[in-house]
Amino acid sequence: MTGEDVRRAVAKLARQIADRDAGSAGAGSDGSALLLVGLRTRGIPLAARLRRQLEELSGEPVALGRLDPTLYRDDLWLGRPRLEPTDVPVDVSGRRVVLVDDVLFTGRTVRAALDAIMDLGRPARVQLAVLVDRGHRELPIHADFVGQALATRREQRVAVRLHEIDGRDEVVLVDQAASTAERSSGVQRAIGGS
Amino acid sequence: MYRERSAAPERATLAAGAAPASSPTAGIDLPAPAGEAEEWPGRRHVLDLDDFSAGEIARVLRTADAMKEILGRPIKQVPALRGLTVVTLFYEASTRTRVSFELAAKRLGADVVNVAAASSSVTKGESLLDTAHTLRALGADVLVMRHAEAGAPYVVAQHVGCMVLNAGDGWHAHPTQALLDLYTLRERLGRIAGRRVVIVGDILHSRVARSAVWGFTKLGAAVTLCGPPTLLPAGELPWPVAVEHDLDRALDGAEVVMALRLQRERQQAGLLPSLREYVRLYGLTAERLARAQPGAVVMHPGPMNEGVEIMPEVAYGAQSAIADQVTNGVAIRMALLYLLGGGAV
């Protein structure tokens, strides 16, 4: 996906989130206020972009937080990832929470994030928005909002790059064997937009 | 010098995960600000800070930020260390350190067993290694140890298959105290490098002072040790520190003042002419503190002898970080329990 494809996918996600919202972005059909929660690392800037667009669509402020679900992971025996700050500045109880991440793959990160968000309170609803759904789920988890579905092989890697972190927007499919070379020589194979 | 960092404490508080006093829609900085160069090659034991790099210390402090956010939640527990068994093995009396370790382990979902040596088979003559081997055989993964003999945790780390966290060994080391001191200072002052730190009191018999000096000097603080000659280590010191016997001179320009507990038996041992003399020369009073920089941070590892090494008006005054030290101790010990045993991935 090129930068333009990423931009379109984010705009699509924002419209979907607003549509499901029966009315303004601030209040859902069940009357609950929206809270966007970006998952580390690249879910965080994506959630901030979605908030800007949702605020433009509705003219109302949208709450934003960030979450690192690492301490809820099921693979900590592998090692100890560096922890990022969790900062959800409002009470999640009674809110419509939309978790935002860059790639949906096995579903294990989302499972951890669901447990983490439940420890912060009792949301009215929890939904999931992802820029890319690449398939190969290992848990019964699905996304409510998908920017772009991609057919991938399990051993491939989906590299999402976002301007706020990586200096440019793009999504690249990388063959694992070639991933080392990719790091030095740049883009392997750009994926066409929708 | 002080004006330029007037905003630093606010920034530090936010970084520590405290709830910002802003609206729900206030901007969140993106991406997360890059901290000090961090590293964590992985280690199985924390025995002292002498073998820590500045990057490892930075990783511990940063990890403690995430832990402190958990301590502010209604449900103060995460499942990260479920299934891990932590045993606290204390051969010396302790309230804050032992409870702090126990809470840290429980907040991370580990199982905790507390062994007080005074009521264990130690009184039947079981040796330290026998006890440690037994606890390992019972399923202990991590041993948190306090012992009156310097080096005791090193022996256990070498011979028993547990991960070992030193909670204080003799006069030698108290690394988790030093890390929580560094964390508290970073929270208050933002940056530690270049800060002028005075440690005053019984340096000679203080494991707190030894580990603190390793930590402060590794992060680039300028440390002055202050106390009567009989309570300072003799000979060449292993750290780049200044030594000053006059507290008023030492305090001139200080940004951090750490007072140490004076054990009363030091006087009985003939190291002090009289307690009153010590208080007059080395007690931290409000008047003395005024010689330090305005807003200088006051620290004490506890338990305090109020009216001896520190006066109540200083200990509970606006410049005191002593209560924060205790709170931050839990976050630091959670960070170490999380980081032990695993390399960075």
Domain span including residue B208: 176-321
Total domains, chain B: 1
B270 or B54: whose pLDDT is higher?
Answer: B54
Chain centre to alpha carbon of residue B106? 20
- pLDDT confidence of residue A179: 52
Residue B63 lies in a domain: no
Residues of chain A with pLDDT under 50: 23-26, 182-194
Q: What part of B 49-68 touches A (C-beta under 8 Å)?
A: 59, 62-63, 65-66
Looking at the predicted structure, is the pLDDT value of residue B201 above 50? yes
Q: Kindly report the nearest CA distance between residue B87 and chain A, in angstroms.
A: 20
Convert B302-311 to b/e letters by CB count within 10 Å (16 or more is b). bebbeebbbb
B34 in A contact zone (CB under 8 Å): no
Residue B119 lies in a domain: no
* DSSP secondary structure string for all residues of A105-149: SSSHHHHHHHHHHHHH---SEEEEEEEEE----SSS---SEEEEE
- pLDDT confidence of residue B37: 86
pLDDT band (50, 70, 90) for residue B8: very low
Averaged pLDDT for residues B290-311: 97
- What residues have CB less than 8 Å from B21, skipping those under 6 apart? none
- pLDDT confidence of residue A24: 47
* DSSP secondary structure string for all residues of B261-318: PPPTHHHHTTSSS-HHHHHHHH-B-HHHHTTS-TTPEEE--S---BTTTB-HHHHTST
ipTM of the complex: 0.86
- pLDDT confidence of residue B117: 83
- pLDDT confidence of residue B4: 37
- What residues have CB less than 8 Å from B30, skipping those under 6 apart? A44, A45, A48, A164, A165
Choose among B257, B244, B321: nearest CA to B285: B257
Residue B298 lies in a domain: yes
* Alpha-carbon span B200 to B170, nearest angstrom: 19
* Alpha-carbon span B206 to B51, nearest angstrom: 19
Q: Which residues of A touch B25 (CB under 8 A)?
A: 51, 55, 61-64
Q: Could you tell me which chain A residue has the CA closest to the CA of B66?
A: A85
- pLDDT confidence of residue B345: 65
Nearest residue, CB atoms, A81 vs list B75, B78, B345: B345
Chain A contact residues (CB < 8 Å to B): 35, 41, 44-45, 48, 51, 55, 61-66, 68, 70-73, 76-87, 89-90, 115-116, 119-121, 164-165
Averaged pLDDT for residues B219-231: 97
Cβ–Cβ of A71/B17 closer than 8 Å? no
Residue B343 lies in a domain: no
- pLDDT confidence of residue B273: 87
**DSSP bridge partners of A101:** A130
B320 or B23: whose pLDDT is higher?
Answer: B320
Residue B257 lies in a domain: yes
Q: Are strands A156-161 and A170-175 parallel, antiparallel or unpaired?
A: antiparallel
Residue B121 lies in a domain: no
Residue B35 lies in a domain: no
Residue B57 lies in a domain: no
Per-residue model confidence as pLDDT tens digits over B74-111: 999 999 999 999 999 999 989 999 999 999 999 999 99
Per-residue model confidence as pLDDT tens digits over B109-162: 999 999 988 777 776 778 999 999 999 999 999 999 999 999 999 999 999 999
- pLDDT confidence of residue B266: 79
Nearest residue, CB atoms, B25 vs list A61, A77, A165: A61
Give chain A's domains with CATH numbers. Answer: 3-152 (3.40.50.2020)
